[in-house]
Structure 1
């Protein structure tokens, strides 16, 4: 699978190029167009269901665009390290990248709740739909930063992270990130989106 982006960072579109028999999972409402012969099979029935798009014998492509303005960002997985990704940010996922549920580190962060993050591992490119452009914040060893959950896009397993309340007496939600902050310690690279996602 290859990913080519255009119209970034304001109104990103991802062209997913598939070899013979390759498949990618995506929300069917995000598909603009595809080459002839790409087939679609529905994974889950209902409004928020996902589909699997499969290339024919001679390969093919499909163009995907998120429902909101912003960048599309191919996040590269090397088969060794995983990434925690903000929930509902995945535009396209190949079969070689898996969603790990549950993930022990997220269970430790959120307790029994599902939280506002998902964990992915494997190899290949996971295409993310972002609100605004993407910034990669590179932290040196010992450097610590604080990120608001509404702007967080992804961070690697190697990052040290702590979730805390902004105001212990104020409202908080681990499902949306309301009233919370994430502290990251380097060395690590943290991806943020330049516009906040809806709570």
Structure 2
């Protein structure tokens, strides 16, 4: 087993410059007015984030990088994370509705309704915000927590928890996938999860920090069902005698997800259900109940 950063896709050398993005911007970073059809100046690369490198789990994933038509940087990890994405002209970033913090005036934004019967019954997002460059967009999740980039290589498909999606670059296809009635009732993720494929970067968010683990063939790992973020390994839901110490467990039995390698599993260090119960308990009329 190994706790490490997510394997990096070949061709994504950290913050190296993507073809067509090498020239610096005009002084002050301002783009002059462009005639219709004239090329926009290339967008500059983000500088390295100052400070010592993070250690352990998924926190040592590079906080800046590039992909086709965009460059990104993640600041203030891992409790108040903010995602900055610089888009080349006509390149898009798809994001969770309501996640935009700010953007350049040159960026265009529109909403897109994605209707399906699955989403009517599962509560999955039925819309998305689409940002089109050139310019920078600042994105953040609705609660405090981490943001990590997941680089897809066009070969490996990922399952993404229903609340873990934040944004995705061009080249990523995100659909809903049934995971069976047993997992739907007990995994904490509902009947459908997101199924991400393609080539590009998908940005995940969490409650608390994100930790990753790479499982070797046949290796097993047990995860409390409220902590899942994303995974490639197969799993099944089990009941175990936990003495009431698992989240969401009101008896001596608790529900867990038993993963079997090979594959990668991302988990979050905080459980939304447990947090909700804690907040409810702080309300004066609920104390002692």
Q: Which has the larger radius of gyration?
A: 2
Larger helix fraction of residues? 2
In 1, the alpha carbon distance for the partners of 2:267 and 2:231 equals 9
Cα shift at 1:42: 1.2
- Return the TM-score normalized by structure 2: 0.56
Relative contact order, higher structure (CA 8 A, sep 6+): 1
In 1, the alpha carbon distance for the partners of 2:72 and 2:269 equals 22
Q: How does 1:75-90 map to 2 (within 5 A)?
A: 75-90=150-165
1:131 corresponds to which of 179, 185, 207: 207
2:195 corresponds to which of 112, 119, 134: 119
Structure 1 runs (4+) deviating above 3 angstroms are 107-114
- Return the TM-score normalized by structure 1: 0.79
Does the 8 Å CA contact 1:99/1:120 hold for their aligned counterparts? yes
Q: 1:153 and 2:229 equivalent?
A: yes
Match of 2:103 in 1: 34
SS of residue matched to 1:150: helix
Cα shift at 1:163: 2.3
Cα shift at 1:139: 2.1
| Shift in CA distance, 111/90, structure 1 to aligned 2, threshold 3 Å | closer
Aligned pair count reads 181
Does the 8 Å CA contact 2:169/2:202 hold for their aligned counterparts? yes
In 1, the alpha carbon distance for the partners of 2:143 and 2:266 equals 19
Structure 1, gaps ≥5 residues long: 168-178
Match of 2:35 in 1: none
Match of 1:54 in 2: 132
SS of residue matched to 2:272: coil
Q: 1:9 and 2:78 equivalent?
A: yes
SS of residue matched to 1:119: strand
Cα shift at 1:111: 7.2
Does the 8 Å CA contact 2:237/2:256 hold for their aligned counterparts? yes
In 1, the alpha carbon distance for the partners of 2:100 and 2:149 equals 16
Q: 1:44 and 2:113 equivalent?
A: yes
Match of 1:194 in 2: 269
| Shift in CA distance, 16/121, structure 1 to aligned 2, threshold 3 Å | same
Does the 8 Å CA contact 1:85/1:155 hold for their aligned counterparts? yes
Match of 1:71 in 2: 146
Match of 2:5 in 1: none
Larger strand fraction of residues? 1
Match of 2:88 in 1: 19
| Shift in CA distance, 81/109, structure 1 to aligned 2, threshold 3 Å | farther
In 2, the alpha carbon distance for the partners of 1:80 and 1:48 equals 26
